Each structure stands twice: as structure tokens, then as C-alpha cells.
Chains A and B, each alone.
Chain A
Amino acid sequence: MRTAIFPARYKSLDDMRQFAAQAAKDAGMDDIEVYAVELAVDEACTNIIEHAYGLDKGGEIECTCTAANDCLTVILRDHGKPFNLSSVMEPDLSSGLEKRPLGGLGVYLMRQLMDEVRFETLGEAGNLLTMVKHKGRK
């Protein structure tokens, strides 16, 4: 298990991706799986920065990665406004250019790239976003 705390700013995204990517590599994941973990963590942290904290408001994101039983679990904890992912509608991916929505893509990608995505809010202990990826499951 490894944990790191990052400032909730877009500038930290590179470090957050690298932290999660290293955990995925150490868990024995292949390049495609490592990229999927990087992308899902980026999208999740972007949402926390934008919606939980509000841009430029500050705050921190605690990232914990645990590898066990052929899967990697990434837990992101923040202390911002609860942002429940299940409230995000799936974007209509079949609509034409003019009607194509600009939002909702990040959450959609997280759900596609990871095998499990769960959100829970723990009051003063913050909000937890748990994402699980199994090794070798495409």
C-alpha cells in the first residue's frame, strides 16, 4: 500500500498520474492497463478539483494505491463538496457534432476504464472515490 497527498490543482495532475502509474506497473499491469489507470485517475482528480473544491479554491487529494489479488485499488479522498458520480448522466455518444455534449466524458471514461467505481461520503472524514482495476481483464 502506498499513499501520497497532492494539492488539488491541475498542475498536480502529472504527479498524480505518475504515482498511480507506478503503482499499476509495480502490480504487474501491462502498458495498456497502466495507461487506463493513469487516465481514470486523471479524470477522477480533475472532477474533484473542479466540482468538489471548485477551481482554484485549494484543498488536497489523498491518493492510496493497494495491489492485491491481481487487482489494483485506487482510493482518492478529498474534503470538498460531495460530488456523487452517480448523478452524472451518461453522455449521448451517438449525437452529431452540434449536439455532442462537452461534459460527462470524464466520468464515462472512468467507468469504462476501471472495473469498479464507487463513491461514498464520510462527513468530516471527507469523500472517498474507490476505483478497482483487475489485471488481465480487458
Chain B
Amino acid sequence: MEITNHHYKHCDLISLKGRVDSYTAPQLNEVIAAVTKAGRYKIVLDMSGLEYMSSAGFRTLLVGQKNCKRYNRGEVVLAAVPKRIYEAIELTGFTPLFKIFDDVTAAVGSF
């Protein structure tokens, strides 16, 4: 999995490419944690390059969301989620917990 992070004025854009499973989820966790440790809690996850995500990835998203939303500090939003990954997220009942945008520009613009 490849992860890039772009720091915008109003939010951080984390772009994911490849596959997130129990082996690679800790990488994603580290990147999100580094952003929040720096005191930034508004995060867009660009999932357009993602081929696969298991529940290990969903858990990482949930931990990030809990951390960002605490004390109304911010939020994790998802952008360009591939259909099959969206269906699995929906199956786990996570869709009400995240704002999901069709494209990255709209997601970044929401902050």
C-alpha cells in the first residue's frame, strides 16, 4: 500500500493506493496518528486508488474518526470510495459514521 499526505490550509488529504488489510492497516494508522498528534483533526481520505480494504482498515478508520471527533475537534471524511469497498463499509454499518463524498475536491471543500 502507498500512502501520501498533503497538508492543506483547512485539512489534510491522505491518499491511499493499493490494499489495506491486517498487515498494512498499521501503516495507515501511523499516518492518521501523525496528523492528529500534530494537532490537526480535519482529514480527507482519498480512496480512489484503493483496491481492497478489510475490517482491519475499517477499524483504523473508526479509531481515527473517534479521535478526530472527540471534543468537536474535527472529522474524518471519505472521498471517491470504490464500489466494492463502499458495499463492505455499508455491510459493517459504518456508513452513518462517515461523510462520504463522490470526489476529493468536494471533500476538501467541505472543511
Contact = CB atoms under 8 A, between A and B. Distances in A.
A100 B21 CA distance: 20
Contacts, number: 62
Nearest to A46: B22
B23 A13 contact: yes
B92 A14 contact: no
Report whether over half of chain A's contact residues are helix, strand or loop; otherwise say mixed.
Answer: helix
Interface in B40-72: 52, 54-56, 58-59, 62-63, 65-66, 69
Contact of B55 (A10, A14, A43): A43
Interface residues of B, number: 21
Contact of B92 (A31, A38, A49, A109): A109
A82 B21 CA distance: 23
Interface of B: 19, 21-23, 52, 54-56, 58-59, 62-63, 65-66, 69, 84, 88, 91-93, 97
Interface of A: 10-11, 13-14, 17, 31-32, 35, 38-39, 42-43, 46, 49-50, 91, 93-94, 97-98, 100, 102, 105-106, 108-109, 112-113
